[in-house]
């Protein structure tokens, strides 16, 4: 597939990016501002990926957006301005597929129903599937079998949230991700006002509220000897319905595209340079398609978004999680988009486990040969990818992965042995079909070996692409098992999100593992050599030698993966050479 973008492809800035929540270090972003203004951080970072709790949100640690105004409990405009004065630009998320039920648009729909300006802003399930299915007994259109079997679903059952309109009717709306319906307690006084006898009101209230607390659906509530008041009680309970969730947007609506335009303008105003398109692959929906990366519709939507972003001097890139063997990352890159290098974390862990750089060398050369623009990482706010390394069968042709299944199992088992928590994917029958990612700090995934962490960081910084540094890895953070255990359904993610006090972060700056990482990061962020070309030397399997050259400036990494040692050689235009050794 030829690129629709031609030669006019925006280039990622050559800089190192820090990644964190606004309250990951200290209580709010102003604490991070004060830390980054200290001399230890001079020249270290030129980009900041600020996760979306910096906006108003209510779920999924920021990825259920209410609106894109700054959450001033954590971030103020002056914080962003101060970081801008330090030469820092921002990467933000635009969550394409959905908005929170608490968004102004969805609240307007709940308030005004068919009269709402935003009636078609979200995806009415029955309207979408009209003519492509049969009405089921619960008022939901059930897609025809040939359509239903193609749907990519993130949870059991149809992705629907029933929404009560002001006229009392129920309308099913598309809800790919999280949803929860709850009910505020009813009071005896409210029941009396609704027509329940005073002598029965207290008992009925206790029965209704008790059933709701136990998770009984309203239609299944049995009032035993008081069922003659059931209609009054359920009508009152229905008035007390509350929603929590992420509602899919209807990209067929021009109002949605107006919203994207307004949002990108707002993000640019905050100092954004890069916009990560979260959940983009779910946005294009069409009967008969899987509704995950539908083609060509997804390409058309991405082209339109990129055109909008160019007006605000923004670079957009879609997050692509898929098996290496599917080559989906290559398709996205061929269209002129930067991609995440989700392969690197597992490759580095595998290389250090085996003491060999063979696959790393091959991957570096592949990035260069295929002209991939990448943002790479070791750790991040989510897990360490494993599924991405696998092969796949496409059109009955088996394509190998970056690692074979035995090596992938070794990577996975090593992380789990060191305390990682696993998130799996499941098929319609409930059986596990694949390991998706493993949640751990990168330091813990490496057995909390400081030599391995420092070597891993050096490898990342010498890879092609923009290095993105998870704050907890910079400070050699360990797995937080207490947070993971207390986190409920998604608790596995909290193992790698420990907040650091400002005092703790300042104390950690005295640790050699932190200072050495900062020295490497500062070199990567400031040396002109990294704006040039990289070459990979032919060396023994256990050795990795990567050189970056730009004119007379040259920086070389020489690493022994078996011994976990390396040195960095820096040569500048004046002919001076210095060696940074790490035993």
CA distance 435 to 311: 40
**Contact of 310 with 365, CB cutoff 8 Å:** no
Strand extents, DSSP E, 74-132:
89-95, 98-100
CA distance 81 to 402: 42
**Contact of 154 with 177, CB cutoff 8 Å:** yes
Strand extents, DSSP E, 400-501:
421-426, 432-439, 466-470
Q: Three-state SS for 132?
A: coil
Tally of CB atoms within 10 A around 559: 25
The DSSP secondary-structure symbol of 565 reads: E
| Parallel, antiparallel or unpaired: strands 47-50 and 89-95 | parallel
Residues 319, 366, 448, 516: which is the catalytic one? 319
CA distance 328 to 290: 15
Tokens linked to 75: 């971030």
**Contact of 491 with 432, CB cutoff 8 Å:** no
Q: Three-state SS for 349?
A: helix
Strand extents, DSSP E, 64-154:
65-70, 89-95, 98-100, 133-135, 141-143
User: For residue 332, is it left (φ>0), alpha (ψ between -120 and 50) or beta?
Assistant: alpha
CA distance 24 to 471: 8
Closest CA to 216 of 164, 168, 178, 181: 181
The helix (run of H) or strand (run of E) holding residue 216 is none
Q: Which residues contact 567 (CB under 8 A, 6 or more apart)?
A: 557, 558, 579, 580, 581, 582
576 part of the active site: no
Residues 278, 323, 341, 494: which is the catalytic one? 278
CA distance 28 to 252: 38
Closest CA to 11 of 241, 240, 315, 376: 315
The DSSP secondary-structure symbol of 441 reads: -
The arrangement of strands across the sheet holding 179-183 comes to 98-100, 241-248, 179-183
CA distances from 266 to 54, 94, 162, 254, 263 (A): 13, 11, 32, 18, 5
**Contact of 420 with 444, CB cutoff 8 Å:** yes
- Burial 287-305, CB ≥16 within 10 A → b, else e: bebbbbbbeebbbebbeeb
CA distance 316 to 406: 36
Q: Mutual orientation of helices 254-269 and 297-311 as an angle, nearest 10°?
A: 40
**Contact of 364 with 373, CB cutoff 8 Å:** no
134 part of the active site: no
The catalytic residues are: 278, 319
């Amino acid at each position: 597939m030829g690129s629709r973008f031609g030669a006019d492809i925006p280039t990622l800035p050559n800089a190192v990016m820090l990644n964190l929540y606004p309250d990951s270090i200290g209580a709010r972003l102003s604490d991070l501002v004060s830390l980054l203004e200290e001399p230890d951080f001079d020249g270290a970072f030129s980009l900041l990926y600020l996760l979306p709790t910096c906006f108003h949100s209510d779920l999924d640690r920021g990825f259920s957006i209410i609106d894109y105004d700054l959450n001033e409990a954590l971030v103020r405009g002056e914080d962003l301005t101060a970081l801008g004065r330090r030469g820092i630009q921002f990467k933000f998320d635009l969550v394409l597929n959905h908005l929170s039920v608490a968004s102004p648009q969805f609240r307007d729909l709940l308030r005004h129903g068919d009269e709402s300006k935003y009636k078609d802003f979200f995806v009415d399930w029955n309207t979408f599937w009209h003519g492509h299915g049969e009405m089921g007994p619960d008022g939901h259109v059930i897609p025809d079998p040939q359509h239903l079997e193609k749907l990519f679903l993130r949870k059991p059952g149809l992705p629907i949230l029933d929404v009560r309109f002001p006229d009392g009717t129920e309308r099913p709306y598309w809800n790919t991700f999280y949803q929860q319906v709850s009910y505020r307690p009813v009071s005896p006084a409210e029941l009396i006002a609704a027509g329940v006898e005073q002598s029965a009101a207290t008992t009925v209230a206790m029965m209704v509220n008790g059933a709701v607390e136990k998770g009984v659906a309203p239609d299944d509530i049995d009032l035993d000897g008081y069922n003659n008041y059931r209609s009054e009680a359920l009508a009152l309970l229905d008035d007390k319905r509350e929603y929590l969730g992420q509602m899919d947007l209807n990209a067929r609506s021009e109002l949605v595209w107006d919203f994207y335009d307004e949002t990108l303008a707002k993000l640019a105003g905050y100092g954004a340079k890069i916009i990560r398109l979260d959940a983009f692959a779910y946005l294009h929906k069409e009967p008969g398609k899987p509704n995950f990366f539908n083609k060509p519709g997804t390409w058309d939507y991405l082209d339109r978004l990129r055109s909008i972003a160019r007006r605000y001097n923004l670079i957009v890139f879609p997050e692509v999680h898929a098996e290496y063997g599917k080559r989906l990352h290559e398709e996205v890159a061929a269209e002129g988009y930067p991609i995440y290098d989700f392969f690197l974390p597992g490759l580095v862990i595998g290389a250090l486990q085996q003491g060999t750089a063979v696959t790393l060398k091959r991957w570096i050369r592949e990035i260069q040969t295929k002209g991939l623009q990448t943002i790479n990482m070791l750790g991040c706010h989510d897990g360490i990818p494993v599924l991405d390394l696998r092969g796949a069968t496409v059109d009955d042709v088996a394509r190998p992965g970056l690692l074979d299944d035995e090596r992938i199992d070794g990577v996975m088992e090593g992380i789990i042995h060191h305390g990682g928590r696993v998130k799996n994917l499941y098929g319609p029958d409930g059986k596990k079909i694949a390991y998706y990612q493993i949640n751990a700090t990168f330091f813990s995934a490496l057995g909390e070996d400081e030599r391995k962490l420092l070597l891993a960081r050096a490898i990342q910084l010498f890879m092609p692409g923009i290095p993105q540094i998870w704050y907890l890895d910079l400070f050699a953070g360990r797995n937080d098992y207490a947070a993971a255990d207390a986190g409920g359904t998604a608790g596995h993610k909290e193992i790698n999100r420990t907040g650091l006090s400002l005092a703790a972060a300042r104390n950690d700056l005295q640790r050699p593992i932190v200072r050495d990482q900062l020295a490497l990061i500062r070199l990567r962020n400031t040396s002109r050599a990294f704006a040039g070309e990289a070459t990979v030397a032919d060396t023994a399997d256990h050795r990795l030698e990567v050189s970056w050259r730009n004119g007379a400036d040259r920086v070389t990494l020489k690493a022994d993966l078996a011994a976990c040692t390396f040195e960095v050689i820096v040569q500048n235009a004046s002919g001076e050479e210095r060696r940074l050794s790490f035993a």
